[in-house]
Structure 1
Amino acid sequence: MFKKFLSKIGIGSASVNLILEDASGRIGEKVVGRILVEGGAVDQKIDAIDVDFILEARLGDKTARTTIETIAVARDLHVPSGKQVEYPFAHQLPELPISSQYVRYTYHTRLDIPEAIDKHDFDQFYVQPSLPVATAIGAFHALGFYDKHDSGVFNGRYQEFEYAPLSGSESGPFAGRIDELTVVYLAEEDGVRLHIELDKTTKGLFGALADKLDLDESHFTLFLSYQSLQDSDATLQTIRRSLEAELNNPNPSRYPTLPKAHPHGQHKHRGGGAGSGLLGGIAGGIAGYAIGEALFGDDDSEQTADGGIIDDLGDFFGEDD
């Protein structure tokens, strides 16, 4: 009797552990593993085993968190005292922002024990880009660009990657000609569209004035088909020619090809929740991330203290009316 009481307050109760075959995975691929439930000091009924896949994004001095998906593993099970029960785990990674210093993912495994303290397990997970996007990213690196400190910021609608050219012996063909590149990779049905902001290197008094007035910037897009992205050398040459053409463009576009996000603006909520299914919900076709309506849930609660956690990315980042 005393053991049953202790199990209800979490002492000697059943425990849960998610064991993944790999702590990282690519977008579009399947994450696999197993869930171990260790019986406690007494036999226990378990109502459910669920795993939440959680995205946490940092923008400025705020952090937002949302559950991308909940994977139902088991229902209504009995765990004998001292015994171990094992369940297979599988999760298909949807289109997502990739992991960076600003974007983190966690698998939160929950053991729902009736009339007792639930048990939890947390596993960090690293989301890598899909192979086509990885090929494009690799091409920029091969052309002598490195990721700047602020690369990988996710503003709630799309993820920006900032590159600068290497100098010295490792410099590529654009050192001294390009100060910075900002690239957004958007997966489409037939390929990946790159939205690129290019900052030219300018010198002297005119260069300083051009930099202040953003006259050294140009904005353009480049579409890479999935077929072409199967050839890394061809991808590199396509990107190189595109950058060269833009550097020599006498009338570059000064207008961004992506709409600005409004991280602190007012917005209308969309209905639905974590069970509403996956859609190209962030920015409705702007980013194409299949994150789901949980991002724009109906919960109007919002914590605005600096450095606080806000549990709805829609509330935090905002949505255009």
Structure 2
Amino acid sequence: MFQKILASIGIGNAQVDTKLDRSRYTAGDVVNGVVEVKGGNTEQAIDTIYLTVYTTYIKEVNDTKVYDNAAVASFQVSSPFTIGAGELKSIPFSFNLPRTTPITGGKTQVWVQTELDIKMAVDPTDKDYIEVNATPLANEVLAAVKRLGFRLRKVECEKAPLRIHTPHPFIQEFEFTATNPTYKRHLDELEVTFINQSADSIDVLLQIDRRARGLGSLLSEALEMDESYVRLTFTDRDVFSIEQTLKQTIERYM
């Protein structure tokens, strides 16, 4: 009885260790691995095991920017079972990393968190950080922006504005500055956000921020009227025309 009381407050409780097949993935990849559960000092009934993909994002609280965690997706990988004292169980799993998983870079982190649901006890957890690469279409969009004469300045996940409908409370923004003299003369920055992605298409939101020139431009900048938002959709069939479409769109709103 005393051991059960200790387990309920996390002393001598079951332990969990998740082993992923690798540490680097592309959004949309299949993630394989094994959850190892080691029994503590007493037998325990485990309701289920969840794997949750988390990331960090910035939001404002009382005019102060703070970091918060957001779940990208959660997966149940076991049904209820009992783990004996000192017993070791290995539970294999497989899930698809959502295509909406943010790309790791800058201050953006992504990890897989394992949680054991044990009634009347402290739930054991495990955290495994992973690197996430862009999907082929997203990667082609970012590469095309760079070829046009832009340099990536910052990558950050921020709280999603109300005007953007996304499956998550955040969006990931890729902030570029112009190195091309023409764009540099007309633009302060270009922001690229991937809104939705499927196996063969991607929705891209461009925020084209024009440079203030003269009193009228300064007034527009103060009223945030110097920014244009343009939504584009690309498919696998558009790979060879992405750069030209981006060029035409940016120059139309400069």
Q: So what's the TM-score if we normalise by structure 2?
A: 0.73
1:26 equivalent to 2:26? Answer yes
Match of 1:164 in 2: 177
Match of 1:236 in 2: 243
CA shift in 2, pair 1:151/1:109, >3 Å: closer
1:223 Cα shift?
3.5
Of stretches 136-145 and 147-156 in structure 1, the one that deviates more from structure 2 is 147-156
Contact 2:57 2:156 in 1 (8 A): no
CA shift in 2, pair 1:202/1:72, >3 Å: closer
1:145 equivalent to 2:154? Answer no
CA shift in 2, pair 1:48/1:246, >3 Å: closer
1:111 equivalent to 2:124? Answer no
Match of 1:120 in 2: 125
Contact 1:55 1:65 in 2 (8 A): yes
Percent of residue pairs bearing the same amino acid type = 24
Match of 1:78 in 2: 82
Deviations 1:130-164 (A, max 9, x none): 22112101211233322334754342545343211
CA shift in 2, pair 1:148/1:76, >3 Å: same
Matches of 1:218 and 1:112, distance apart in 2: 47
Matches of 1:88 and 1:223, distance apart in 2: 37
1:21 Cα shift?
2.4
CA shift in 2, pair 1:201/1:152, >3 Å: same
Matches of 2:79 and 2:101, distance apart in 1: 31
Match of 2:95 in 1: 91
Contact 1:102 1:153 in 2 (8 A): no
Contact 1:103 1:153 in 2 (8 A): no
Matches of 2:197 and 2:45, distance apart in 1: 46
CA shift in 2, pair 1:188/1:15, >3 Å: closer
SS of residue paired to 2:144: helix
Match of 2:195 in 1: 186
Of stretches 52-61 and 10-19 in structure 1, the one that deviates more from structure 2 is 52-61
CA shift in 2, pair 1:59/1:117, >3 Å: closer
The one-letter code sitting in structure 2 at the alignment partner of 1:211 is: L
Contact 2:56 2:70 in 1 (8 A): yes
Contact 1:152 1:162 in 2 (8 A): no
Q: CA RMSD in A?
A: 3.3
Contact 1:16 1:119 in 2 (8 A): yes
The one-letter code sitting in structure 2 at the alignment partner of 1:226 is: D
Contact 1:102 1:154 in 2 (8 A): no
Contact 2:100 2:197 in 1 (8 A): no
Matches of 1:117 and 1:220, distance apart in 2: 48
1:86 Cα shift?
0.8
CA shift in 2, pair 1:35/1:179, >3 Å: same
CA shift in 2, pair 1:85/1:173, >3 Å: farther
Matches of 1:138 and 1:161, distance apart in 2: 12
1:212 equivalent to 2:219? Answer yes
Matches of 1:34 and 1:237, distance apart in 2: 45
Q: Structure 1: which 5+ residue stretches go unaligned?
A: 248-321
Alignment of 1:247-258 (within 5 A): 247=254
When the two structures are aligned, how many residues end up with a matched partner? 237
2:141 aligned residue (114, 133, 136): 136
Of stretches 84-93 and 68-77 in structure 1, the one that deviates more from structure 2 is 68-77
SS of residue paired to 1:174: helix
Matches of 1:69 and 1:151, distance apart in 2: 19
